[in-house]
Amino acid sequence: MLKKFSVAIVVLIGLLYLIYYLISTSLEPQYSGTAVLWGLESKSTVYFDKYGVPHIYAESELDAYRTLGYVHAQDRLWQMELVRRIAPGRLSEIFGKDLLSADMFFKTLGVNLYSEQQVARLKSEGDPNVLNAAQAYLDGINAYMHHGPTPIEFIILGIEKRDFELVDIYNVLGYMSISFAQAHKTEPVLTQIYQKYGVRYLDDLDIDGREGTQLMMNHQLSVRCFRFRDRFRQLWINCLLQPLLAAIVGYWAPPKPNQEGQFLPMILT
């Protein structure tokens, strides 16, 4: 019985890894080679450092913004789709009645209405340089939407891809302003918990309150997987669950250096 159970666990892990591999390789962002981006005035080059951060070199500001939109979309299109739906109250369209209260809250705030007013004002009275830069960024996003791989979340949920517009930028900024403002309520409470009861109480809330910051490289397996002093839960998350979710949710796979340890550029033409 125990032998059969062990075999089943091994098979399950193998299947999970196969799913992860197939998804990650088919939807993996492009970090080297050449890609075509319509609308560029001249060639742009993108270098991704070891943290996956893109460094864009372009001949003009507008080309830089177009390129930024493209590489932003290839890494985070699903996240961008979710975030732009929050302020206008459109999450329940894909997730159902459980998010109706959240949609009603944001619709009541009127963020989307204010965003539409600001877009109209920008087009009629705003700085044309700002408008052109924003539109170039949006053109880059939409170019990837039309010509790049479709994130698996769109397929599973049956979501039709819709071009990003200026109002989406304002809506995202509006939501982020509200989200950041919440820290004025939560941070003082968490600080008092930390000072009075210690960091272990924050652990129960899944908050790392220890001093110091550690850069997160990416979702790839690390030596943490083999440090037995880590709790089993973290072993499971870091070594099995996180890589699988990373592929499904659409986190970027890190660029790979060549034999000389250099990161090859992606050239947009």
The Cα 170–Cα 87 span in angstroms is 9
What is the per-residue pLDDT for 68? 95
Written as six digits, the tokens of 20 are 């992860």
DSSP letters of 65-111? Answer: HHHHHHHHHHHHHHHHHHHHHHTTT-SHHHH-GGGHHHHHHHHHHTH
Q: Going edge to edge, which strands form the sheet with 33-35?
A: 33-35, 266-268, 44-48, 54-57
Rg (CA), the chain: 22
What is the per-residue pLDDT for 36? 86
What is the per-residue pLDDT for 223? 38
**Whole-prediction pTM value?**
0.72
Give 16: exposed, middle or buried? Use CB within 10 Å, 0-12, 13-18, 19+: middle
Give 71: exposed, middle or buried? Use CB within 10 Å, 0-12, 13-18, 19+: buried
Per the DSSP assignment, residues forming a β-bridge with 44 are: 268
Q: Letter for the amino acid at 94?
A: I
- Average pLDDT, consecutive stretches of 10 residues, N- to C-terminus, the chain (269 residues): 71 76 68 86 89 89 95 93 95 93 94 95 94 96 92 88 96 90 81 83 71 53 40 46 45 54 69
What is the per-residue pLDDT for 25? 61
Q: Which domains, from first to last, does the chain contain?
A: 32-190+259-268 (1.10.439.10)
